Structure 1
Amino acid sequence: MQRVAVLTEPDNVVLEQREIPEPGPGQVQVAVRAVSVCGSDVHYYDHGRIGGFVMHAPLVLGHETSGVVSAVGSEVTTPAVGTRVAVEPQTECGRCAQCRQGRYHLCPDIAFFATPPVDGSFAEYVVVPAHRAHPIPDSLSDEAAALVEPLSVALHAATKAEIGPGTRVLVSGAGPVGLLCLQVALARGAASVVVTDVMALRREAAAEFGATATVDGNDHDTALASVGEVLGQADVVLECTGVQPAIDLAVAATAPAATVVLVGTGASVTLPLDLVQARELVVKGTFRYAHVYPAAIALAASGRIRLDAMITSHHPLEDAVGALLAARRDPLALKAVVHP
């Protein structure tokens, strides 16, 4: 038997005893060592839903996961038992049009950890397809390996934005994903990266992680002028908030023919169509990632992304609620990690 932290309803997590899952053909069992908390976990804890994804039954949270392969199913030759891995938390059908074209993250039948009705990794053991258990080098800690998942989100967004040497980048929002987008942009050779946020402590964190400058986003006109002084106009915007005022500011700060990548998840928002058309902006959406994990692991192992520095608290499985509430209790909190 294993211990599992289960969200039974909003604001209520209980520890349960469940059977340890056994790997089937092509699968591996992973003994979980670290699970970092995502904003989506917190949203399910608070509300029981994110947009159209709604809890209709108890749900195990957690999808940013690392561990050690503890058993393998038939037909599995790699990774071997004992291999440390970062777990890519999605399983696609492999047959639909999106999968056949390589966009497996857009598979209509995707099973993604901690997205109803699929349980996540606040557990001692999980089972995943062998090709979704990515070996990690000894230079990466278990905690950093768990953060490969949000790093993959940032790397996927930067790739869609085509950030390269000399690019002028504006990152809207200095939460964990925004800070990872900042670091990825710098690693890809961006000439300058300005980060906006309404919270002073978040802006301080962005400065610590290498932002060329940070801008208070509370007043649109003042913020736009400040961005202009440092950046001129942005060639790329990585919008990580999903909040209307931040989106308005980010789009207004663009150069002609700039690319705006919408990374943050929010409710319905509006875009200033006059600016989009007059500047011929390219607006792109992102949803998770695909084919990114190996590159994200290599980037993390290179030392150019400071994953361990983003971890601000550690929690046993019994304190999963403490991990979920960490950011609410401490404005300096970035990433809480659960250790099953």
Structure 2
Amino acid sequence: MANPSFVMQKVLDVSFEDRPIPKLISPRDVRIEIKQTGICGSDVHYYTHGAIGSFIVKAPMVLGHESAGIVAEVGPEVTSLKVGDRVALEPGVPCRFCDHCKAGKYNLCADMKFAATPPYDGTLCRYYVLPDDFCVKLPDNVSLEEGALVEPLSVAVHVTKLADVQVGSTAIIFGAGPVGLLCCAVAKAFGATTVVAVDLVQSRLDLALDLAATHSYVPQKGDSAADSAAKIIAMLGGKQPDFAIDASGAGASVNTAIHVLKQGGNYVQAGMGAPEISFPITEFTVKEITARGSFRYGPGDYQLAVALVASGKVDVKKLITHRVKFEEAEEAFKLVLKGQGVKILIEGPAAPAA
């Protein structure tokens, strides 16, 4: 196969196809040979449900968007990269012309072409094409495996920047999945001296403590949000967090976050859960809390994520629990469905025969 690709045909129906090798359309395009791809919750949701909100899979679609690879071809106007360079792929290309793009918020672009988001194919293939400014060169001390994890790390960078975490502060992160774990690490890298991880699964909290967290908390069955908040504050010696991030999407976590925050605290919603939840609006109002939503990543987030890995401030390798060959890609999805592992990497298709 010239360009083997892992294609979702319909819900729970995937296959391997030989797709055409993508051509360079723009003189600033780059063709990358994909070497490592991580599995994201959105990939699995498409695999199991065929849709996320208004994004509905209506035709066969290549899955995957957390990838790193090696530059195989560059357009005639590319000066920042050369064949053989190792890069992390920022998988969403905006229109560049709308008001959001011009304001530096291209993650909000309505015409975003995002890998493995219908109708656009993803990166679980041998070759993928991106503009050169959406390929971030990896330093020599950053592996391709780490490069694939730059995508979820960039999500965490964007979330934590929106929270405006300050040096010497206390931050609390709800949900110890990949993004929540990485938010713990980024909050610490940004200077938070106390980082609290909250989750129902002790093994994930153990990983959070190993990665960056200073404290962990398992909500107790039957406790209200106010009860949980009171116990967390007691655990912290009476101190209330300055910043809260919810990476779970669970209504109970959202409520607890508002109750636990100090007066004037900052709250950022990163996880997506039920379309609507109950919300402690009185607590939110009287504390004058600042709340923001967070979606993907924006200008500079990928570059900062790479720098955090290269400097050793964030060790993304600790999240990798499974590695599978390209031919075993469906098994990786099944592992995620079973709740096994934290971050599973799929090795790119073997290099084509000479």
> TM tier, shorter chain?
over 0.9
Deviation at 1:325, TM superposition (A): 2.0
Q: CA RMSD in A?
A: 1.2
Structure 1 residue 330: Cα displacement: 5.1
Match of 2:260 among 233, 245, 253: 253
Partner of 1:239: 246
* Alignment deviations for residues 16-63 of structure 1 (CA, whole Å, 9 cap, x no partner): 011111222210000000001111111111111112211111111111
Mapping 1:111-260, distance limit 5 Å: 111-219=113-221, 220-221=223-224, 222-231=227-236, 232-260=239-267
Q: Structure 1 residues 214-223 or 149-158, which shifts more?
A: 214-223
Q: Tell me the secondary structure at the aligned position of residue 257 of structure 1.
A: coil
Measure how far apart 1:224 and its partner are: 2.2
How many pairs were matched up?
339
What residue number does 1:337 align with?
Answer: 345
**1:48-87 correspondence runs (5 A):** 48-87=50-89
Q: Which moved more, 1:307-316 or 1:222-231?
A: 222-231
Contact 1:168 1:190 in 2 (8 A): yes
Query: SS of the residue aligned with 1:293?
Result: helix
Q: 323, 326, 330: which one pairs with 1:317?
A: 326
Residue 59 of structure 2 aligns to a residue in which SS?
coil
SS of aligned partner of 2:101: helix
Aligned residue for 2:22? 21
What is the deviation of 1:200? 1.8
Residue correspondence of structure 1 range 263-278 to structure 2 within 5 A: 263-266=270-273, 267-278=275-286
Quick one: distance in 2 between partners of 1:270 and 1:164? Answer: 29
What is the aligned partner in structure 1 of residue 13 from structure 2? Answer: 12
Q: Percent identity?
A: 37
Residues 59-94 of structure 1: per-residue CA shift (max 9 Å, x gap): 111111100110012322221111100010111111
Asked whether the 8 Å contact 2:44–2:337 carries over to 1, the reply is no
Q: After superposition, what is the alpha-carbon deviation per residue over 1:205-236, rounded to whole angstroms, capped at 9, x for unaligned?
A: 21222311111124334532331123321111
Deviation at 1:316, TM superposition (A): 1.5
Counterpart for residue 351 of structure 2: none
One-letter amino acid matched to 1:201 = S
Shift of 1:301: 0.4
- Contact persistence 1:215–1:223 (CA under 8 A): no
- In the superposition, the TM-score normalised over structure 1's length comes to 0.97
The unaligned stretches of length 5 or more in structure 2 are 349-354
Moved over 6 A (4+): none
Match of 1:42 in 2: 44
Alpha-carbon distance, 1:328 to partner: 3.3
CA contact (8 A) 2:29 2:74 kept: yes
